Structure 1
């Protein structure tokens, strides 16, 4: 497969307009419903299920055996291929890949280089963001800036996550009735998947007259313990101590802290984005907020400082698919964006706000853009 080796210089195209040409998504395996998890890990009370609002999710790990059926990079590549096909762009035209994940195939090389390999690209710029939900929005902006200044012309932005390998050990080989309720809640909450987008820079001066993209991100948890902590595979303690733990890798959630402080992070994030962009909530046609619409979370918006009027306005714009995919980390925003676009909810000319909230250190990331791609053929 031939590749273009001539790259534009930043001075060639000052402040070029960047368009999202298409998106793509990949969900591994068949959907896993709550009844299946109830048989494997024990049931959750109906009010808890209603609060998290997840009814189905997809896992790359077989829920019955724990065997891996794919990988983070393979899911990312599958989503990228769909986005490329919808965009009418050959893989050889990609000169930049920006991928976000907290669950790479290996610590090194980065997962993005495996996507590069699987797409048949001998050479490409590859940047990887190690983050959860906010990472894909950060990756969008990194790619957008590098296209806008002329460093590159065509980019793949990908968010991919494999959380199920951490979930299966909570219940595998155990009596479901003996699985702790907090562990069940974790098992029911998360899903795996990948979402991707193809971005391309215009020829020259094409940003004039369009909404200028605005980006903001902030960690608000510097003085708080993490809302989410993934243990294992790091350098916090010697490997011998890690191997002595009950689980080689583990995921720990501060559920009360997340429920209490998470909505404050969201409200600060949306207020920050409105201040920076000069937009009002009524100016936004689609707010891609994949995990902020869960009842336990959204019920606290008023306490966190979002007026009833703003809540009513926001509720009409939210684009999310939490019920069908669960909490998917780095894949959450691109999966929700793809569902919104492919389903016709996001239309050309719409002002779109991508907004992600991450519990790890209570981080938000937001990006505004004007949507241009026509709804794909079904």
Structure 2
């Protein structure tokens, strides 16, 4: 594990937040030419949460953070760092992390966003881990929060069925006990055209309703690259931690598609009984999916202290990332 004097970044509490509104596959049948069976068999999704005007990314992130801090027994003023993984910030600047920081009363600590699409939370976790292991940070708040339905074209059946809104958070602290054992992060911008949003500030902005914001995705091609990439990522992460497939107690993957999740579990020779699946209830919440799944696994009693968890995600960019940790 390198320098033995370095402390581990250990998760001491989790939290989550979801919009109130539930949109089922049956609801979508009234909007586009699709069916519950078509959606379920291809994605595993049954329903998703859709935010209202007040439920911004920052609002959901704040609620998840507040819950995590309360469970951790940590005051916001004790935080040294806040990192928010998101691709749907409230505004361009200040960062959503700064907005959440102020609402929490953590003013003064470092706070910034990380945009790695669906890998955002795992990227943010990797960044916070390095800050803690360097000795610069003792307590950190890491959030994954998204309101992707804001950019969904509800007339396009290939994409509108896939996404939902939500947020999850974890509180990390420096510890002598094992915590995060290894993190791996990668990206390849060469795949940009397979999954992207064409609208930005210095390019693509249009003076029209919704500014032309929409998600462009080549689903079949994304699926192929995701399965192949996550397969190699698993091996790399295990090697970095000096562990084997059999050492992993739980797989907590990005919740985008049940078929991709099943393919990753097969690579690990893991039964689906040891995989946390929330895609059926939440759909793809991008940066929110991994922390939401982690929080549900902890709250349900499935994940226990001392167990080894493999977190992994794949998103637009393409980006892919993992974290192997002892809970």
Q: TM-score, normalised by structure 2?
A: 0.91
- Separation in 2 of the partners of 1:37 and 1:133? 23
- Indicate if the aligned counterparts of 2:265 and 2:275 stay in contact, CA closer than 8 A: no
1:127 paired with 2:112, answer yes
Corresponding residue for 2:317? 361
**TM-superposition CA deviations, 1:247-266 (whole Å, max 9, x none):** 52111111121122221111
- Separation in 1 of the partners of 2:240 and 2:47? 36
Q: 2:250 aligns with which of 275, 278, 286?
A: 286
1:224 paired with 2:191, answer yes
Which runs of 5 or more structure 2 residues have no equivalent in the other structure? none
- Separation in 1 of the partners of 2:312 and 2:208? 39
- SS of the equivalent of 1:357 reads strand
Q: CA RMSD in A?
A: 2.3
1:236 paired with 2:203, answer yes
Corresponding residue for 2:76? 91
- Indicate if the aligned counterparts of 1:99 and 1:128 stay in contact, CA closer than 8 A: yes
Q: 1:246 to 1:143 in 2, by over 3 A?
A: closer
**TM-superposition CA deviations, 1:150-207 (whole Å, max 9, x none):** 212111100000111112xx34xxxxxxx4xxx11311110001100011113xxx25
- Separation in 2 of the partners of 1:81 and 1:246? 31
- Indicate if the aligned counterparts of 1:75 and 1:160 stay in contact, CA closer than 8 A: yes
- Separation in 2 of the partners of 1:246 and 1:347? 44
- Indicate if the aligned counterparts of 1:103 and 1:163 stay in contact, CA closer than 8 A: yes
Corresponding residue for 2:55? 70
- SS of the equivalent of 1:122 reads coil
Corresponding residue for 2:31? 40
- Separation in 1 of the partners of 2:130 and 2:225? 31
Q: 1:246 to 1:335 in 2, by over 3 A?
A: closer
1:50 paired with 2:41, answer yes
- Separation in 2 of the partners of 1:49 and 1:315? 17
Corresponding residue for 2:10? 19
Which runs of 5 or more structure 1 residues have no equivalent in the other structure? 1-12, 62-67, 172-178, 372-378
Which structure features the higher share of strand residues? 2
- Separation in 2 of the partners of 1:91 and 1:27? 21
Q: 1:314 to 1:365 in 2, by over 3 A?
A: farther
- SS of the equivalent of 1:224 reads helix
- Separation in 1 of the partners of 2:210 and 2:77? 46
Question: CA offset at residue 245 of structure 1?
Answer: 9.1
- Indicate if the aligned counterparts of 1:136 and 1:159 stay in contact, CA closer than 8 A: yes
- Indicate if the aligned counterparts of 1:320 and 1:340 stay in contact, CA closer than 8 A: no
The structure whose Rg is larger is: 1
- Indicate if the aligned counterparts of 1:44 and 1:184 stay in contact, CA closer than 8 A: no
Question: CA offset at residue 323 of structure 1?
Answer: 0.5
1:214 paired with 2:178, answer no
**TM-superposition CA deviations, 1:69-112 (whole Å, max 9, x none):** 32111110000001011111122222210111000011111110
What is the number of residues matched between the two proteins? 324
- Indicate if the aligned counterparts of 1:101 and 1:131 stay in contact, CA closer than 8 A: yes
**TM-superposition CA deviations, 1:122-176 (whole Å, max 9, x none):** 3111121012221111111211221222212111100000111112xx34xxxxx
1:97-112 aligned within 5 A: 97-112=82-97
- Indicate if the aligned counterparts of 1:25 and 1:78 stay in contact, CA closer than 8 A: yes
